[in-house]
Amino acid sequence: MDTSLLKQILREYDAKRYKAIYEAEERKKQLLSVNPRLQEIEQELASISIQTTKSILIANEKDKATLLSTLKKKTNMLIKEKYAFIKNLSKENTYLHPHFECKMCKDTGYIQKEEVTVMCNCLKQRIYDIAYNKSNMGNLERENFSHFNLRIFSDKPDKEKYKSSISPRSNIQVIREKVENFIMEFDNPTEKNLIFTGNTRCWKDIFNQLYCK
């Protein structure tokens, strides 16, 4: 895979992830500035977080367990109060969370699957979309066999001009049959591949030089 393309997409991911985090911070700042109790709850939660870290270092296991249990209860109560407060303001519970485009990978492009880091489907899709457009295959709704017009190919053979004894129209008919057959047999492992050769965008040469291998 083109690594520069991946790097470019991951930079996009970084940008949208930081944007989501920044916007969440801004929403929080704004909400806290007009709701002092919410500000207090946030401060208490931050303080509990520090106390929890410190209590882990206590040697006495019994004291440690009691303290951690108390802190957990306090945390749960505060979180409950916080969400009730937010609900009272007619906001969603997730109002203060970063709103990532992809909830699976939180816009990192990667997820943990059975202790292995794998590419998220959103990133695969993004790579596919870009590669697809680059390959000029984005117009398949318009550029397909239902719009195939034989009449644009001459039905007059001209050996000198086309280096073939059959007309371009007969030639393209043969090619079309081969290509359609290839599509129909695409899942068949014994089906032979098609190779198109010729200068880029030079459709006449491409069609005249179709070989089956």
**Footprint of Zn ion (CB under 5 A):** 102, 104-105, 120, 122
CA angle 21/22/26 to nearest 5° reads 120
Helical segments of 89-200, H only? 121-134, 159-162, 168-184
Nearer to Zn ion, 122 or 172 (CB): 122
The smaller minimum CB distance to Zn ion, of residues 31 and 105, is found at 105
CA distance 107 to 179: 40
**Min. distance of Cβ 102 from Zn ion in angstroms?**
3
CA gyration radius for the chain? Answer: 31
- The minimum distance between CB 15 and Zn ion, in angstroms, equals 15
CB of 106 to Zn ion, least distance (A): 8
104 or 183: CB nearest Zn ion: 104
Q: Taking the alpha carbons of 13, 14, 15, 19 in that order, is the dihedral positive or negative? A: positive
Q: Closest distance between Zn ion and the C-beta of residue 184, in Å?
A: 35
Q: Which two tokens stand for residue 47?
A: 């303080």
Decide whether 102 or 172 has the Cβ nearer to Zn ion: 102
**Tokens found for residue 166:** 């059959």
Q: Residue 40 carries which side chain, given as an amino acid letter?
A: E
Nearest distance, CB of residue 103 and Zn ion, angstroms: 8
Q: Give the separation between CA 116 and CA 144, rounded to whole angstroms.
A: 41
Identify which of residues 118 and 202 has a Cβ nearer to Zn ion in the complex: 118
